[in-house]
Amino acid sequence: MVPTGGVNLANAAEFIEAGVAALGVGGECVQAEALKANKPEIIVENARRFLAIVKQTRAQMVSSTLAAKTKSVMRASAPIWLNAIRSID
């Protein structure tokens, strides 16, 4: 899914967390005022902000997923580890 309407800097992370493949940010990134004022640096900064949000949110999602998987493996493996430790003594 690629949402193309209603996406802005305030809610972009929520869309990523919901599992979208990409964001269509059009007017939120390329603002008419920036074009009229011939200020491409505003557009570049908006693009950087969107990219930072996407990267940060995806990294947090991966980190959360890995932490959950590790916790699950640790729970499943705990009895094996405990038995191994007990057999050392």
Which residues form the domain of 19? 12-88
| Domain presence at residue 2 | no
| Domain presence at residue 6 | no
Average pLDDT, the chain: 86
Q: How confident is the model at residue 40 (pLDDT cuts 50, 70, 90)?
A: very high
Angle at 12 between CA 7 and CA 17, to 5 degrees: 125
Of 45 and 74, which is predicted with more confidence? 45
Are 23 and 57 in contact by the 8 Å Cβ rule? The answer is no
| Domain presence at residue 5 | no
| Domain presence at residue 1 | no
Which pLDDT score is estimated for 66? Answer: 77
| Domain presence at residue 3 | no
Q: What is the pLDDT of residues 54-85, one digit of tens each?
A: 999 999 999 887 777 776 666 666 666 566 66
Which pLDDT score is estimated for 21? Answer: 93
Which pLDDT score is estimated for 65? Answer: 78
Which pLDDT score is estimated for 27? Answer: 92
Number of domains in the chain: 1
| Domain presence at residue 29 | yes
| Domain presence at residue 7 | no
| Domain presence at residue 20 | yes
